[in-house]
Each structure stands twice: as C-alpha cells, then as structure tokens.
Amino acid sequence: MNVFKFGGASVSTTERVHNVAGILRRYASDTLLVVISAMGKTTNALEKVVEAFYRKDKEEALRLFEGIKESHRAAAADLGLADTSFLNDFFTEVEWLLHDNPVRDFDYYYDQVVCVGELLSTAIVSRFLNEQGVANTWLDVRDIIRTDDNFRDARIDWEYTAQRVRDTVRPLLAAPGAIVLTQGFIGATDGNESTTLGREGSDFTAAIFANLLEAEGQTIWKDVQGVMNADPKQYEGAQWIRELNYREVIEMAYYGAQVIHPKTIKPLQNKGIPLYVKSFLDPEAEGTIIHNSQVNGLPPIIVYKRSQVLVELSSRDFSFVGEGLTAELYRIFETLKFRPNLTQNGAVSFLCVVDDHAEKVDALAHHAAQYFDVQLRRNLTLLTVRHHNDELVSRLCGDSGIILKQQTPETLQVLLTQ
Ligand code: ASP
Ligand code: MG
C-alpha cells in the first residue's frame, strides 16, 4: 500500500493528465491511495470568486465562477469525456451559495467555495482514468477527513478520521492493485460544512492517509527533480538533494522553503514512513528520499522570504518588555493566526519580522498600539541559510544592508534591505 500525491501542476493540461495515467500504469501492481490537487491555478481563481462574493459583487463572483466552469468542462471534453454533466452538482453547490448574501465569516465562505477545485479535478481525472482502463474508486474526502470548524486552517479529528479510514477506505483497498482516488486539502466538520487545511495542504492529507493506512511510503509527484537546496527561480546554483531526514525538511518548511507543506512530516515520522519527492516529468529519475536516517554532508540550504515587514515595538515609558507584555503580544499573534518569522527581544523593545499580509499587519499594529509605540518597515527580505558558511552568506547578502542577524551553529537568518 502506497500513497501518491499529484499537485496542481501535474494535472494542469490534457497532456499532463495523460502523463498521470502513464505513471499509474507503471505502478499497476501497487495498491494505491491517490490524492490529486485542483488543476493548475484553480485555487487562486476560486479565491478571487470568494473575494468578489464577500465584497457583495455578486455579478463579478458569478462571472468569475463561470470561467472556472468553462475551463473544467473544456478539460473534461479534451480528455474525451463526452458527457460533462457529472460536474453539474459541484457547480450548483457553489452557485447556490453565491446567490446568497454573506452573513458569516469570510473564512467560512472561502472553504465552501474553494473546496470545489479539488472535487472537480478529481472527478474529471477519476473518470478519465477509468475510461483509460486505470480502474479506480473516487471518494469524496469530506466523508473521511473530519475536522473542527477553524475554517481555512482546520484541525484534524484524528479519532473519527481513523475510524472512517478503517471502515470505508481500507475495504476499498483490499484487492491488490486497487486504486482509491480522492482530494487533498479539504475536509468537513461534524455538521457537514466543508473546511480546508491551509494552502498547499494536499501533501498533509496524503500524509494523514499514509499514517492511518500504515503505508509503505508516500510519494509526492512534482515538476522538479526532487527537493532542491534552494528555489531554482531565486538562486542559480540550486542543486538537487538525494536524501534528507525528516528533521531537516521540517526545518526547511518552517523557514519558508516551498518544498512540502510543513504539517506533512509529523504523520509520516510518527510511523517511520519514508517520503519520496519525484518528478512527474521524469518518473524514472531517482528523486529525493526523506526518512529517519542521519544524513551528513548536506549542502547549504537557502531560503528567501520576500516582502517582509519589520515591526518594531517599543515600550512607551521605558519600562521593560517583560514576560507580561511578550505574552500579550503572542496572544495577539495567536488571535490573528499570524506567525512571526523572526523575533528579537531587547530591553525596551521587541522586534518581529512578518509576512506583508496587509490586513494582518494592520490588525497587529492596531492591537499592539495599546501597549507599544509601533513602527513598520516594509519591503525587506529574510534570508535563511542552514549549514551556513561565511563565504556563501556574504555572497548572498551582496550589497544589501543588514538590518538584523541571528545565528545558531546550524541556522543563520539575516533581514536584508532588498
Ligand atoms: N489546491 C490547493 C492549493 O493550491 C491545495 C494543494 O494543492 O495542496 O493550495
Ligand atoms: Mg499545489
């Protein structure tokens, strides 16, 4: 039993969906649970629909959604599915909602609308595969993955989910070579409201299944050769890494490397299940293995986070920023679901570096102003280097001014002016 996850890029064109069929044929004798993301940039497009709906621009929301309907009908037709009426129920579910006026939280509507991207994608690919002779059973993952109602960042109810996996998913995988095809990223509350697990959450869903099914391994199929030591778009000398341990990957994700969803590792590590990252464009290539072993001789790992904001909080009357004020500040972060990427405590000030998420930065500044003088500095870059050396770091910093620097023997972080 293995778990495969195909990201949005792997099903973004007709040719690529054919390629997925080819990969599954190569593994015909394996019993597989397959998680597939929304096609291409569908999730971003659906976000635009919810935004329009929430600012009460119903017409625009419906117009944008019409575009998404069209592109999915076209995708299905291009794959040779003559009758696309199986998509209509998914469309209707969203359209009903779009005809209403928003009365609840933005995050609630976000989840009800955005989840349709994964449902459409998997419904199309599942049918196509069945017609191609790659027999599979499509599952609505919302019947399996139960979460709380913390919309957009829902937490898993492991006990209920485990029971559903045992009762519903396992029997479908009983026959050798069976394939269950389902969605990542989404779940449902006990009241059957849809939820999402955070952007790029499909990796995490795959890991939940791998854990509960005690899979031999999980493979994430991507458009890169495996895990690289830097984003090739940001760093020319990026190189492929053959082997990593769980700890290293969790650290990379934490510092912002867009490798794997940060929550993915724990369910795998807990059961000692290896994670493979492989290229769907070159399935024979080795890829990266991530497991428990100690890995020596890693290259420096470089992560850039752009558009960072330095929030400088100073106590008004020269009183110390002690535990009380710091605790207050973290409560604000918690309420806003906003995580500082770097913090530094001084006698009468507290510095934190955050993503430039305009609404959250404003809210943070507003709340913090109860206790502190607040100053913001925008357009900064946070550079993190694991397994750093001086020569590389000074090369990476170049002519940029260094605003803040923190370092441990393993990890160095610098906040740069550009
Ligand atoms: N479709 C979702 C996203 O784009 C989830 C995923 O692909 O992992 O964030
Ligand atoms: Mg994706």
What's the pLDDT band for 337 if we cut at 50, 70, 90? confident
Q: What is the pLDDT of residue 26?
A: 97
pTM above 0.75, yes or no: yes
Kindly state if the Cβ of 8 falls inside 6 Å of ligand 1. yes
> What's the CA gap between 223 and 226, in Å, rounded?
8
> What's the CA gap between 180 and 169, in Å, rounded?
8
Task: Provide CB contacts within 8 A for 55, sequence distance 6+.
Answer: none
Give the residue-averaged pLDDT of 321-340. Answer: 91
CB atoms within 10 A of CB 399: 7
Q: What is the pLDDT of residue 387?
A: 95
Do 196 and 109 meet the contact criterion of CB atoms below 8 Å apart? Answer: no
Q: What is the pLDDT of residue 413?
A: 97
What's the pLDDT band for 414 if we cut at 50, 70, 90? very high
Architecture of domain 301-417: 2-Layer Sandwich (3.30)
Q: What is the pLDDT of residue 262?
A: 86
Q: Where in the chain is the domain with CATH 3.40.1160.10?
A: 2-223
Distance (Å) from CA 185 to ligand 2 centroid: 9
> What's the CA gap between 359 and 245, in Å, rounded?
36
> What's the CA gap between 282 and 240, in Å, rounded?
14
Is residue 418 pLDDT above 90, yes or no? no
* Phi, psi of 333, deg, nearest 5: -60, -45
Kindly state if the Cβ of 199 falls inside 6 Å of ligand 1. yes
> What's the CA gap between 344 and 389, in Å, rounded?
23
> For every residue of 75-103, which 3-state class applies, written as one string?
HHHHCCCCCCHHHHHHHHHHHHHHHCCCC
Ligand of minimum distance to the alpha carbon of 199:
1
| pLDDT, tens digit, 9 for 90 and up, residues 1-55 | 999 999 999 999 999 999 999 999 999 999 999 999 999 999 999 999 999 999 9
Kindly state if the Cβ of 40 falls inside 6 Å of ligand 1. no
Beta bridge partners of 180: 33, 137
> What's the CA gap between 34 and 6, in Å, rounded?
8
Kindly state if the Cβ of 185 falls inside 6 Å of ligand 1. yes
Give the residue-averaged pLDDT of 101-108. Answer: 96
| pLDDT, tens digit, 9 for 90 and up, residues 260-294 | 888 999 999 999 999 999 999 999 999 999 999 99
SS3 for 282?
coil
Long-range CB pairs of 59-67, under 8 A, 24+ apart, other chains included:
61/98, 62/95, 62/98, 65/91, 65/94, 65/95, 65/98
Beta strands in 121-183 (DSSP E): 137-138, 179-183
Q: What is the pLDDT of residue 319?
A: 80
Give the residue-averaged pLDDT of 380-407. Answer: 95
Q: Where in the chain is the domain with CATH 3.30.2130.10?
A: 301-417
| pLDDT, tens digit, 9 for 90 and up, residues 74-83 | 999 999 999 9
Kind of pairing between the strands at 32-36 and 179-183: parallel
Assigned CATH for 2-223? 3.40.1160.10
Distance (Å) from CA 225 to ligand 2 centroid: 16
In the predicted model, what is the mean pLDDT of the chain? 96
| pLDDT, tens digit, 9 for 90 and up, residues 297-324 | 899 999 999 999 999 999 888 887 788 8
Distance (Å) from CA 149 to ligand 1 centroid: 19
